[in-house]
Amino acid sequence: MEMNPKIHTWSQYASLAEGMLKGDDGEFSGLIRVDSRKIEEGDLFVALSGKNMDGHDFILDAFSRGAHCALVSSSWGEKIRDLPEGIRVIEVADPEQGLIKIARHRLKGLKNVIAVTGSVGKTSTREMIFLALGGSSSGVYRARSSHNTRIGCALTVAEMPEDTSVLILEMGTNHPGEISEMVDLYPVDTAVITEIAPAHLEGLGSLEGVLDAKLEILESPNLRKVIFNGDNPMLSSAVKERSFGKNWQALSVGSSGSYVLEDIRLEWQERPVLSMIIGEKQGRSSYGIKAKLTGIHNASLLGIAWATAVELGISPEEASIRLSSIKPYHGRGVLKDRGGILVLDESYNANPKSMEALLDLVAQSPFPREKRLLILGEMGELGEGSLSLHEEILKKALPLGTVFLFGSMWISLKPPVKVYEDIESLSSDLKSLLSKGYFIAIKGSRTNGLERLMEIFS
């Protein structure tokens, strides 16, 4: 496995960005960030200009928080002739393009670039692949957060350690052409597609639109392998159809296909435990995975991660052992015991597919109906069919336990339960009900900010 080019100093970064360093040169020891509030000692702050705010307004704030350098527009630099003492900047025509130039250079020579896309489970699958490949100690680097846009991928690529031999990107989309642009800028060798489901319908129009947008990942000029959910007939048919005459290999994971999943079980002990058997369709051996994950839907993601690791040369036994130690990622199925109250945090995001998976988990739980609380936020960006999709979820949720709804979208349905529009009222009512023995499931779109509820259980 080849490693990416070594970049150490600010002057080297300035050269890659086709810019000019102003201030003393020095070693780059931090991370690259676009949010000044998250700056830590040694970081590079990229001053991006957006519709509502300009990063240049926060440059001094970034330095006060520990930034060692800022990537800025040359027009800003012209206004500030004399930099305050201790401030170092790299001036470029456009900071966004400068960041992308750095990232594209750093990809040169790297032969193992994986990108994960899909309607659900992108970040969880990314983390599973990272673990299955051996993590940082094995030269694997992945996005620090849900950096799944053009800029997010640039941040991930630009700041990867120099000993990186495998890079894992995450690619999301809410409009056609977005992933196409990303794989043009950051060509990938292995494409991973988790699922196709109703999500971002506002920008993608229909399930077919979602499929077409996700399959833009197949346009990568370096593509060698496509590993995908073989149990989705629409996805499976489309990938196989588009593989004809191509130089890449299509590998399905599911109840049948290249890699077969069998004996999938979710058993509630003190906490839920997911177990499964996986093996190659043509192979004689099979391997067990047993992980403390919430939801049987994670079996597909585990299978895809296992197959990806095996395809990249990890032994099947080692991949199984590593994946058996996986833990849920923040806001995506984290289960916490809070003084005898079991809280499931699925607050990061929601669409109909992931919401149904949550309801299935609640239905399988050993808690009686009167001890189950479901806090359901809205599902965003669903377009014209949003109301009917919310209605279907509500019908499935009501028989399972006591339901609390959050967000104005639910009001139009005139539900038989209370709808909350501010987190304080919801928190107050929850506190009055809570006692030992309850199981609470929280899920909603990012815009709902339901993660704030976790504070009342601390």
The more confident residue out of 77 and 202 is: 202
pLDDT tier for residue 109 given thresholds of 50, 70 and 90: confident
Q: How far is CA 202 from the centre of its chain?
A: 20
Q: Which residues are annotated binding-site positions?
A: 118-124
Contact 259, 251 (CB under 8 A): yes
Average pLDDT, the chain: 92
Determine the average pLDDT of the residues in 197-224. Answer: 93
pLDDT tier for residue 81 given thresholds of 50, 70 and 90: low
Tell me the domain boundaries of the chain.
10-96, 110-323, 334-457
The rounded percent of the chain whose pLDDT value lies above 70 is 97
pLDDT tier for residue 381 given thresholds of 50, 70 and 90: confident
CATH architecture group of domain 334-457: Alpha-Beta Complex (3.90)
Top CATH class of 10-96 equals alpha beta
pLDDT value for 38:
93
Give the domain 110-323 fold: UDP-N-acetylmuramoyl-L-alanine:D-glutamate ligase (3.40.1190)
Q: Does residue 454 register a pLDDT over 90? A: no
Intra-chain end-to-end CA distance of the chain, in Å = 45
pLDDT value for 257:
87
Q: Which residues are annotated binding-site positions for ATP?
A: 118-124
Of 235, 267, 268, 263, which Cα lies nearest the Cα of 251? 235
Over residues 332-349, the pLDDT tens digits come to 889 999 889 999 999 988
